[in-house]
Amino acid sequence: MKRIFLYASCCLLFTAGVGCKKYLEKEPDNRAQVNTPEKVSQLLGTAYPQANYQAFAETMSDNVADIGYDIGGSAGNVIHDPFFFIDTKENEQDSPEFYWYGCYSAIAAANQALQTITKASNPADYSAQKGEALVARAYAHFMLVNFFSKFYDASTAASSPGIPYVTEPENVFIKQYDRKTVQYVYEMIEKDLLEGIPLIQDKVYTVPKYHFNKAAAYAFAARFYLFKKEYDKVIQYANLAIPGNNFAANLRGWNTDYKNITDVTELFKIYAKATENANLLLVETSSLWSRYYYTSRYGLDDDKQSSIFPRPDPLTGGNFAYALYSLGGDHKLVPKINEYFVKVSVNAEIGLPYVMVPLFTVEEVLFNRAEAYAYTNNYAASITDLNTFASKRINNYSPSAHNITEARINSVFGTSNTRDGLIAAILYYKRAEFVHEGMRWFDLLRYKMPVKHSTSPDASGNVTVLAELTADDPRKVLQIPPSTELAGLPQNPR
Amino acid sequence: MIKKALGRSNVQTKKITCFFCSIFFLLFFISSANAQTGAIRGKITDSLEAPLPGVSVTVKGTKIGTSTNASGEFTLNNVPARSTIVVSYVGLATQELTLSAGQTTLNLTMHPDVTDMQDVVVTGFQRIDKKKFTGAAVTLKASDVKIDGVIDVSRMLEGRAAGVSVQNVSSTFGAAPKVRIRGATSINGENKPLWVVDGVVLEDIVNISNDQLSSGDPTTLLGSSVAGINANDIETFDILKDAAATALYGARAMNGVVVITTKKGRSGKLNIAYTGNFSTQLKPYYGEYNIMNSAQQMSVLGELERKGILNSDILSNPNYGVYGKMFDLISKPDANGNFIVINETESKAAFLKKYALANTDWFDILFQNSLVQEHSLSISGGSEKSQSFFSTSFYNDGGWTIADNVKRFTLNFRNNYNFSDRLTAGFLTVGSVRQQKAPGALSRVSNPVSGQFDRDFDINPFSYALNTSRTVTPYDENGELEYFRRNFAPFNIIDELRNNRLSIDVLDLKLQGELGYKITPHLRYEFIGALRYVKSTREHEITENANMANAYRANDNATIASRNKFLYTDPDNPSAPPVVVLPFGGFYNRTEDKLISYDIRNSLNYTNTFAEKHLVTVLLGQQVKSADRQNFSNTGYGYQYDNGGIPFVDYRILKQTIESNFIYYGMGKEYDRFAAYYLNTQYTYNGKYNLYGTVRYDGSNKLGSSREARWLPTWSFGGAWNMEEEPFLQDVWWVDQLKLRASYGLTASLGPATNTGVVLRSLTTNRTFPLERESVIQIANLENSDLTWEKNYQTNIGLDAGLFKGRVNMSLDVYQRKSFDLISLIKTGGIGGEPIKAANYADMDAHGGELLLSGRIFQKRDWGWRSTITFGYSTTKITNAKNQPIIFDLVKAEGGNTVGYPVNSLFSIRYNGLEHTTGVPTFVNEKGEVSPNVYLQDQNISNLVFEGPVDPKFNGGFSNTFNYKNFSLNIFLTYQAGNKIRLYPAFRTSYSDFDAMPKEFLDRWAMLNDEQVTTIPSVLEAYYRYLVNASGASPYNNYNYSTARVADGGFVRLKTVSLTYTFSQSLLKKFGLNSLSVTGVAANPWLIYADPKLKGQDPEFFNTGGVAQPIQKQFTLSIKAGL
C-alpha cells in the first residue's frame, strides 16, 4: 500500500514536471499573434513614423520669423528651440527626439514583420508584405539620416557618421549600436528600396494611401535619387510614380475644387484626405503642429507670406490660388494642417491631438522630375513641368497668358544660366507649395543655403537677426537624443 | 494537535506495531493486574469560578468518559487507580491530571487556551511549533482582534501586528484598505501582501494597482479579496513577515503573507453559536468640517457679483446655483406671464435672502443613521471519525448614505473525515453572495494638462456634501424637489441618486478538498486542491431622468449647444450646429469580471527523531496554480427605463463614439499560470538549536513566452536558539522563554512587465476619416530576454521573550531588505523602437524594526488589566532608478517615485507668496523663476520640495483590556506618523454659485498688502481671471499642489472602545444556554490627534469622489450566544 502511494506521488510529481512546460507556455493575456500574411500587413500598419517632423523642420527653415511676444506670447520649447537652432531637451510631440523615436518604432515594426516572414514556412506567400516592410524600413532610415547626420554629399558621405541602420528586432534591454557612415546608410536604404519596390502589390492594402503603394514607393525612390543626385533615376521613378505623365489631373486643385470650398474647416480637412489624388502616402502622427503653426510666436508673418506668395507671381504674371488666411492679422497661414483630436474617453475634454501628414505627393514628384530634367539639360521638359504646376496654382489660369518661358525665368531670377534659373524657380514654387510642411528644410540642406531668423519688420521696415545658420553650420545636423549614449552612440559635433 | 500536523504518529508499521503491541499488552496486563477501580466525582469551573457544563472528562488510554452537567459536576465510574484524567473543553486549555492513590474527588479550574495559538505558526504549508520557528511571524487570534460590526477582515489587522500598516483610503464595502507588511518592496509593481486562506492563495478578482486603490473608481469595490469572508469563521491570522517565514511562497512572497485559518469542527458535543451585530453609523456633521455656512457663502457670492463674475452670463455656464436661478427667473416669466423675480435690487435681495438663510445641511439630507445587521450562525461538532463545521451569515447594511446599501450572504461548510488511522480527508465549500448598491460613478481621468483628476457626473454623496454650497436647497417651499443646473441640465442630488446607480453582484464560490495518507509513521503524503469561481457584475443604470442623460439633451439655445460637450458635431459637416444624439432613454452600462482559479498541491512530509536529540522534518512538494480572469464592459445607449426597457439608439451616438475612436464595448482576458517545486528542512538539536532552510523553484507564464526567464529559484535559511533551555538560564526565575532568531533569504515577486517575448497589440488607427481607419498591430513592448522577477534579499534578526512567569511577552525584530531587479522605466536611445523601457534594473533599500509588548499588568480574582502595544518602523529608499517623472507625477496626492527618495514620495511646488496686485499665488516654477505658472508636464523636478513619504514610517496600536467580574472593557488606539498628506484640492481659478468654499476663504487676500498677512489666494476678478486663463496658467490649481497645501499624516485614533458583559453560567442554565455575552462597541469614535491643518479631513481617507467614503463612526451592539 505504502509503495503504491509512494509511486503514485512520484509519478504525479514527474508528470506535473513534464506538463509544466506546455502549461506555462500560455500567454498571460490576449495579446496579438502575427502568423499570417494578413496579420503581417496589420503589423506593417505601424511601420511608418507616427511622429511629425513638420514643426521643427519648418521652424528651422527660412519660412518663419519672430512675430513678437505681444502677439505670440512665449513659445514652448518645441517651437522656440528650433527657431534659435538650440539642441532642444524637449522630447514631447513635434520634437526631433520624438521624431527619432517615431522612426525607430516604425523600423522595429518593419523588422518584426521581416523576422516573421523569414521564420514562416511559406515565405513566398508574404512577398507583398516583405516589399512593404523593406521600403518602409528604408524610408524611416532615410528620414533619420537626413535629419540627424550630415546631409548626403558623395564626397563626405563615407566619412561622416550616419545613424544606426537596424535590420533585426531588438531583444535585449540595452543593445549597443554603431552609427557607421552616411554612405553606408544610403547604401542600405538603396538596397532595401530596390529589393522592396518590385514586391509591392497595391491589392493587399485595405487603405492603400496609408501604405507604401507602388506610386508612393516610386515617389520615395525619386526623392532618394534626387538627394543622391542620380538624376536619370529620378526621372525614371517619377515617370513610374505617375504613369502616362498624368500629372496635371492629379495635382491638388487649388485653382479649381479648393477654390469652391467656402468653409475654411472643410479646406483644412481636405488637404490630408486619402481621396485626394495628390496624396500618395499619408501617415497619422501624434502632433500639436495644427495648433502651433499659426498661433506660435515664431511662424509665418506678413513679410514672409508676401515674399513666399508674391502678388502677382512673377513667373506667370498671375495670382496664386492658395487660400491665404491670417489669424489676428499677424499670423499667416494656408489652411492645410488639420487636427484630429482623440479624447481619452467619449466625454472627456482631454485627449491626444493627431495630424495626418502627406509624406509623398504628386507635386513633389513633379518638382523632383523638373529638377532632374534641369540637371540632365532637358530644360524644355523642366519648363513644361513648371507650367503643369502653374496650371493648377494660378487663378483663372490661361496657358497663353500665364506661360512660363526660359526667358522669363532668367529675367526673374537675374541669371543667364538657365539651369540656375530653373533650380531657383523650382525651389521658389516648392517653397510656396509646401509652406508649413517642413519640406523647405531639405532644400536648404541640399543647396547648403544659410538661414537667418529675424524679427518681423518694425514700422520702419527694419529687422533684427536673432539666429543664423551658415552654409556648413554643424547645427544643420540635428543632435541625436542624449539617451542614445546608453546604446554607445557618439553625439554630433557642435 | 501539533504532533498530528507534523506527521508524528501513534500508528506503526507492521514490525514496530508488533513490538508495541506486545508492550501495550504488557502494560494492559500490568494495569489489569492492579485492577482496583473506583468512582471519581468532581466539579469543573472556569477562571471566574463559574461552573462549566459540557466539559469532556475522560480516562486516558481507556474508553471511560463523561461530560459535566449544568452545574459543572461529573461522576466517573470504574476508574482504575492512578489513572490519568483528561479534561478538555473547546477554547480552554486541556488538562491532564494523574490521580493519586485513593483519590476520589477532582475539582478543577480551567483556563483559556492561550498556548494553543501561541505555540504554532501556520504558514499555509506547515504548522510549525513556534518554539522551533526561525522566521518573523505574528499569530493573531481572530477573537482577539475582531471588531464587532466591522465587516472587512483586513481592517481588523490595523494596529494589531507590528509592522503591518493598514490605511483606510476608503471604507466603502468591498474597497480594500492599503495594507503593507514592512512597507513597499516594489516601485511599479504591487505592494500588497498575499492572502492565503486555509492553505490556498486567495487570488484577487481584479488586479488593482497601487494608485487605483485610492481612485474612488467603481472597480475598487472589487478590490478587497477578503470581502466575501465571514469574520466569525476565522480562527487565526498568521502574518508572515521575513524571508524564512514566507519562503514556501517563493516567488510570490516579497510583500509578506497573511494566512487565514478558518474554524474546524471538533469531536465532542454539538456546538451552536450565534452572533448578532446591530450597528449604526453616525452621520457626518458640518462642525467637523470647515465649510462656510449659507450666510458666509452668500456674502462671498456677493463679492463675486461685485467683481463681475456672477452676472447673467452664467446662464451659459454648465453649472449654476442660486444666482443662476435668479437670472433665469429674471429672464423668463412663469406660465401666467408674471416674473417671479424682477431685475431690481429689492426683488433680487429678497430672492437671495431666502437662500442665504437656507443653511442646507447636506450631510443630514444625504446621510442616514441606518441599521446595520449581521447575523451569523455556526454549528460544529462531530465524532472521532468525522467532524463538521457549518456556518452561515447574513449582513445587511441599509447604507450610510441614501445611495448605498449592501447585503451579503456567506456559507461555509467543512467536513473532516478520519477513514482510518492512516487516511484522512477534508472537504470545504465556501461561498458568498454580495448585492451592493452605490452611487453611479465613472472612472476618473488624470489630466496632467490642468493637473486635475476629472470625473464626469460625480455624485458621491460625501464629496457632494463637502463641495456643494449650503445656499443651494434640495427642496423648495412646497416641499418639492428643487433643481439647479449641472451640465446644462436640471440637477437635484436626491433625484440624481435615485436615477443614477451602480448595482454590484458578486458570487464567490470555493470548493476545496484535502487528503492525507500516512505512508509510514514518519512519512505522510498530503494533497490539497481548490477550485474557486467568482463572478461579479456591475450594472450602471442611468435612467432617462438622470442629469447624466439629460446633459446629452441640453440644447436650450445656440450658446449652450455650442458649449455642451455631450452634443454631436458631424465631422463631415463641421460648421453645422451640434445636435442631440440621445433623444430618448438613458444608459445601461455593464461590466463583468470573472475569475476561475485552481490550486493543487502534493507534498510528502517526513519527520523523525534520532537519538532523542535530533529532530528532523523534511517537506517536499509540488504545486500547480492557475487563475483565468475575464473582464467585459459594455456601454448601452438609449435604454428607456420607464418605457418597457426598450432601447432607443440614435445611430449618430454610435457614430460619435466610433468617430472619436472610443470603444463602446470591450473584453479582455488574463491567464495566470504557476508551477512550483519546494523543499523545506527543519532540524532541531536537543530542543535548543534550530535550523530551517527552504528552496523553492517557481515557474510562471506571466513574463511572456521565453522559456529561460520563466523559472526562478528562491531560498532562505534561518536559525533559532532557545536560550531558556540553556543551563545558565534555568535558574533565572523571571525568564520563561527567550529565543534569539535570525534569517536570511531571497524572495521574489512578479513585476508589471510581461515581455520576455515581443508583445503585440491590436488597435484601430487614429485617422481623421472613419473610412481611412484600419485595424493594425503595434509593438507594445519589444522582447526583453533579460526580463526576470523582482527580487530581494532580506535579513531579519529577532528576539522573543516570555518573562515573569507569563506576565510579559515581548517580540523584537529588526530587518534589512535589499530589493533589486525591480522593474522601473528607463529612457533608452529608442533605436530598438521602444524609447522608454520597463526593465529589471532598479534597486531599493529598506529597513525597519518592530516591537510587540504585551503583558498582564495585574490579575486578581475579580480584576485584571492586560495591555498590548505594537510598534512598527519602516523606511524605504530608491537607490537606483532612471525613470523621468514629470512634476504632476510627484505632486499628486498618491505621491510618486524618483531616485534617492522613498517609494511614493510626496513633493510640492514651492509656494512663494501672493502677488501684490491680484492676490494670485506664485511659485518657484520649473525654470526656477517666480511665477504663477508652473508647467506640470515638465521633467525638471529640481525645484520641487520633498515633503515626505505618503506611506507612514511609524505605525502601531495600543490595546488595553480591563476586566472586572463579568465585565470586560477594551480600549484600542492606533497611530501612525512620519508621512505627509496632500490637502483637499479646494482652490480653483473660478467658482460657481454651486460650489462650497472652505472657511479659509474668510481669510483670503482681499486687498493690496493682504499678501503680508495671509497665504489664502484671492477670488479673482473677472478681468484677472480672463488674463490668467488666457495665459494658460492655472495658479489656483498649482496652489493645491504647493507647499501651502500639505499636512502631516501622523495621527492617534481611538479605534475602538468595547464593553462586554458575559452572563454567568448559573444564570444561563435557566435558559439552556452555554454562553451568552453582550458587547457594545464604538468603532472609530475619536480622532485624538491629527495635524490641525487638516481641518476635518480624515488623514487616512483619499476624498476622490466616485465610490470612496471615509471611515465611519460606528456603534454596535453585539450579542453572542452558544447552545
| Per-residue pLDDT reduced to its tens digit, B521-567 | 999 999 999 999 999 999 999 999 999 899 999 988 888 888 888 88
Q: Please, which pLDDT band fits residue A446 given cuts at 50, 70 and 90?
A: very high
Average pLDDT, stretch B905-922? 90
- Residue B757 — pLDDT band, cuts 50, 70, 90? confident
Q: CB–CB of B669 and A45 under 8 A?
A: no
Q: Please, what's the b/e burial string for B792-810 (b: 16 or more CB within 10 A of its CB; e: otherwise)?
A: bebbbbbbbbbbeeebbbe
Which of residues 311 through 340 in chain A touch B, CB cutoff 8 A?
Answer: 338, 340
Q: Is 50 exceeded by the pLDDT of residue B22? A: no
Q: How far is A277 from chain B (nearest CA, A)?
A: 14
List the single range of A380-389, B396-405, B659-668, B860-869 with lowest mean pLDDT.
B659-668
How far does A399 lie from chain B, in Å, by closest CA? 35
What DSSP assignment string belongs to B897-945?
A: --TTS-TTEEEEEEEEEE-TTT--EEEE-TTS-EES---TT-S--TTEE
Query: Nearest CA to CA, how far is B638 from chain A (Å)?
Result: 15
pLDDT, greater one: A356 or B660? A356
Does residue A352 sit at the B interface (CB-CB below 8 Å)? yes
Whether B18 shows a pLDDT value over 70: the answer reads: no
What is the per-residue pLDDT across B354-410, written as a single tens digit (0 to 9) for each? 899 999 999 999 999 889 999 999 999 888 889 999 999 999 999 999 999 999 999
Give pLDDT tens digits for B962-1018: 999 889 999 999 999 999 999 888 887 777 888 888 887 788 887 888 888 888 888
For residue A178, give the chain B residue with the closest CA.
B831
Mean pLDDT for all residues in chain A: 91
Q: Is A33 on the interface with B (CB under 8 A)?
A: yes
pLDDT for B6 equals 34
Answer whether residue B859 shows pLDDT above 90.
no
Q: Do A173 and B841 touch (CB under 8 A)?
A: yes
- For chain B, say whether A178 makes contact (Cβ under 8 Å): no
Q: How far is CA B428 from CA B134, B198, B390, B628, in A?
A: 31, 10, 10, 22
Residue of A nearest to B704 (CA): A27
Q: How sure is the predictor about A12, in pLDDT bands with cuts at 50, 70 and 90?
A: low
pLDDT confidence bin for B414, thresholds 50/70/90: very high
Q: Which of A91, A172, A173 to mutate to test the interface with B (most CBs of B within 10 A)?
A: A173
- The pLDDT, as a whole number, for residue B23 is 38
CA-nearest of B538, B450, B91 to B271 is B91
Q: What does pLDDT average to over chain B?
A: 86
Checking if the pLDDT of B931 tops 80, the result is yes
Q: Rounded CA gap, A339 and A360, in Å?
A: 19
What's the gap in Å between the CA of B924 and the closest CA on chain A? 18
CA B1053/CA B1046 separation, integer angstroms:
20
* pTM recorded for the entire structure: 0.84
A13 vs B456, B602, B759: nearest CB = B602
What is the average pLDDT across B45-66? 77
Chain B nearest-CA residue for A28? B671
Which residues does chain A have within 8 Å of residue B780's beta carbon, measured at their own beta carbons? Answer: 31
Q: In this predicted structure, what is the pLDDT of residue A6? A: 52
Distance from CA of B331 to the nearest CA of A (A): 30
Does pLDDT of A14 surpass 70? no
Place of cell 466539559: B55
Task: Please give the Cα distance from B1086 to B1060 (Å, whole number).
Answer: 20
Across B460-475, average pLDDT: 91
CB distance A166–B657 less than 8 Å? no
Poorest-confidence range of A23-37, A260-274, B365-379? A23-37
Hey, is B231 helix, strand or coil? helix
**Chain A contact set for B765 (CB, 8 A):** 45, 210, 284
Nearest CA in chain A to B882: A483
Q: Is the pLDDT of residue B781 over 70?
A: yes
pLDDT tens-digit series, residues B600-652: 999 999 999 998 889 999 999 999 999 999 999 999 999 999 988 899 999 99
Whether B775 and A171 lie within 8 Å, measured CB to CB? no
A265 touches chain B (CB under 8 A): yes
Q: What is the pLDDT of residue B47?
A: 65
Mean pLDDT for the stretch of residues A15-25: 64
- Which residues in B lie closer than 8 A to residue A43 (C-beta atoms)? 760, 776-779
Q: How confident is the model at residue B909 (pLDDT cuts 50, 70, 90)?
A: very high
Residues of B in contact with A266 (CB under 8 A): 574
Query: Residue B339 contacts by C-beta under 8 Å, 6 or more apart in sequence?
Result: B329, B330, B333
Q: Determine the pLDDT at residue B33.
A: 40
Sequence-ordered list of residues with C-beta below 8 angstroms from that of A471, at least 6 positions apart, any chain: A448, A449, A450
Where residue B1078 falls (left for φ over 0; alpha for ψ -120 to 50; beta otherwise) is beta
CA B1061 to chain centre: 31
- pLDDT at A230 (0 to 100): 96
* Sign of the C-alpha dihedral computed for residues B902, B904, B910 and B913 taken in this order: negative
Q: Considering CB atoms only, which of A42, A174, A338 is closest to B775?
A: A42
> Residue B106 phi/psi, 5° resolution?
-145, 105
Whole-number Cα distances in Å, A180 to A145, A165, B897: 11, 8, 38
Mean pLDDT across the stretch A453-469? 92
- Tell me if chain B has a CB within 8 Å of the CB of A263: yes
Question: Out of A6, A101, A282, whose CB is closest to B830?
Answer: A101
Q: What is the pLDDT of residues A142-191, one digit of tens each?
A: 999 999 999 999 999 999 999 999 999 999 888 999 999 999 999 999 99
Query: Please, are residues B585 and B571 in contact by the beta-carbon 8 Å criterion?
Result: no
- Tell me which residue has cell 457584475: B537
Whether residue B290 contacts residue B1095, with contact meaning beta carbons closer than 8 Å, is answered with yes
Q: Is B118 a residue whose pLDDT tops 70? A: no
pLDDT at B34: 45
- On whether the CB atoms of residues B492 and B507 are closer than 8 A, the answer is no
If you average pLDDT over residues B413-441, what whole number do you get?
93
B804-836 pLDDT, tens per residue? 888 899 999 999 999 999 998 888 889 999 988
Chain A to chain B Cβ contacts (< 8 Å):
242
pLDDT at B91: 64
- Contact list, A338 vs chain B (CB under 8 Å): 768
Lowest mean pLDDT among A100-114, B32-46, B1013-1027: B32-46
CB contact set of B612 (below 8 Å; sequence gap of 6+): none
pLDDT at B2: 34
pLDDT-derived band of residue B4, with 50, 70 and 90 as boundaries?
very low
Q: What pLDDT was estimated at residue B113? A: 57
Q: What is the structure's pLDDT at B20?
A: 38
| CB proximity A25 to B under 8 Å | yes
Contacts of A352 in chain B (CB under 8 A): 766
Nearest C-alpha of chain A: how many angstroms from B769?
8
Nearest to B162 by CA among B850, B959, B847, B1052: B850
What pLDDT, on the 0 to 100 scale, is given for residue A13?
52
Give the torsion sign (CA, B439, B440, B442, B447): negative
Residue at A216: amino acid letter = A
Do A342 and B656 make contact, defined as CB atoms within 8 angstroms?
no
Nearest-by-CA chain A residue for B572? A266
How near does any CA of chain B get to the CA of A343, in Å?
7
The amino acid at B1041: Y
A166, A284, A344 member nearest B445 (Cβ):
A344
Q: Alpha-carbon distance A58 to B300, whole Å?
A: 50
Q: Comparing A42-46, B14-18, B575-579, which segment has the lowest mean pLDDT?
A: B14-18
Q: Are B779 and A108 an interchain contact pair (Cβ–Cβ within 8 Å)?
A: yes
* Distances from the Cα of B273 to the Cα of B56, B421, B968, angstroms: 19, 30, 20
The residue-averaged pLDDT of B716-727 equals 91
Beta bridge partners of B846: B817, B876
CA distance readout (Å), B15 to B3, B8, B18, B22, B518: 22, 17, 5, 11, 16
Q: Which three cell numbers stand for residue A179?
A: 552609427
Q: Measure in Å the smallest separation between the Cα of A267 and chain B Cα atoms.
A: 11
Provide the 3-class DSSP secondary structure of residue B419. Answer: coil
For residue B257, report the phi and psi dihedrals to the nearest 5 degrees.
-135, 140
Nearest Cα neighbor of A451 from A459, A460, A442 is A442
C-alpha cell at A164: 544606426
B144, three cell numbers: 482577539
Interface test mutation site (partner A, options B566, B772, B831, max chain A beta carbons within 10 A): B831
* pLDDT tier, A4 (very low <50, low <70, confident <90, very high otherwise): low
Nearest CB to A46 within list B657, B677, B777: B777
Mutation target to probe the B interface, by most B beta carbons within 10 A, among A1, A3, A5, A39 is A5
Mutate to test the interface with B, among A26, A170, A206, A341 (most CBs of B within 10 A): A170
- Rounded to whole angstroms, how far apart are CA atoms B239 and B256? 7
- Cβ of B701 and A25 within 8 Å? yes
Find chain B residues with C-beta within 8 A of A77's C-beta.
Answer: none
ipTM of this model? Answer: 0.91
Q: Which chain A residues are closer than 8 Å to B697 by Cβ? A: none
Look up residue B427 and give its three cell numbers.
472537504
Residue B25 has pLDDT above 60, yes or no: no
Residue B55 confidence (pLDDT) above 70: yes
pLDDT of residue A348: 67
Record: contact B769-A273, CB cut-off 8 A: yes
Q: Is the pLDDT of residue A424 over 60?
A: yes
